[in-house]
A = this chain, B = another copy of it.
Amino acid sequence: MRKNFGVKPWVYPQPVLMIGTYDENGKPNLMNAAWGGQYDANQVMLCLSSHKTTDNIKATGAFTVSFATASTVVPCDYVGIVSAKQEPNKMEKAGFTTVKSEFVNAPIIEQLPLTLECKFLKCNEDGNVIGEIVNVSADESVLTDGNVDYKKLDAIIFDPTAAAYIRLGEKVGNAFKDGAKLK
């Protein structure tokens, strides 16, 4: 038996996208969003409503997307519920520090180890932000043998059914390989 829940935004799970931008004065800002995803091999899509971030993306033509981690869950949640319009010092209050991306006019958040550095392409016909990934960078602290190590990264996901943040657990399989057993 199945239970019907009606219309719910329950793509499961959702990433915790941390969107970094500069404002018109070069001041860094960061917000948190769960609605978005890979839009093409070199593109990301973000579904944002009106935010300081959307103004900044349009003004600078760039943004970064990092991913919340277990150790940064409190400040990552904080920047999602407090707008720079109300709290100009939100980055300092969150404890986030930044350096400028080498590739685009947007900040890298030093406490968030994996980052997509994106050029703003357009708002599409439905008003969603589309960005081109021009580089991905990762802090060496989350690498093993030069590759991203998910245990070191310790990224979290958003569970939309319970508004919970959950870390990743055990590896259970290999994509494009495990299914071959049934061929």
Contact = CB atoms under 8 A, between A and B. Distances in A.
A78 B136 CA distance: 29
Q: Assign chain A's interface to a size class.
A: 35 or more
Interface string A1-21: 111111111111111010000
Contacts of A183: 78, 82
A72 to B, nearest CB: 10
Contacts of A182: 74-75, 78, 82, 93-94
A165 interface: yes
B169 A164 contact: no
Given A137-B2, A139-B2, A171-B164, A177 B116 contact: no
21 contacts: A2-B138, A3-B140, A3-B146, A4-B102, A5-B138, A12-B155, A14-B37, A39-B47, A39-B126, A73-B172, A77-B176, A77-B177, A80-B176, A80-B179, A124-B124, A150-B159, A150-B161, A163-B176, A164-B174, A164-B175, A166-B169
Interface of A: 1-15, 17, 34-42, 44-45, 47, 65, 67, 70, 73-82, 93-94, 102, 108, 114-116, 124-126, 128, 130, 133-140, 143, 146-148, 150, 153, 155-183
Given A15-B37, A147-B161, 6 more contacts: A3-B139, A4-B102, A13-B168, A40-B126, A94-B182, A163-B175
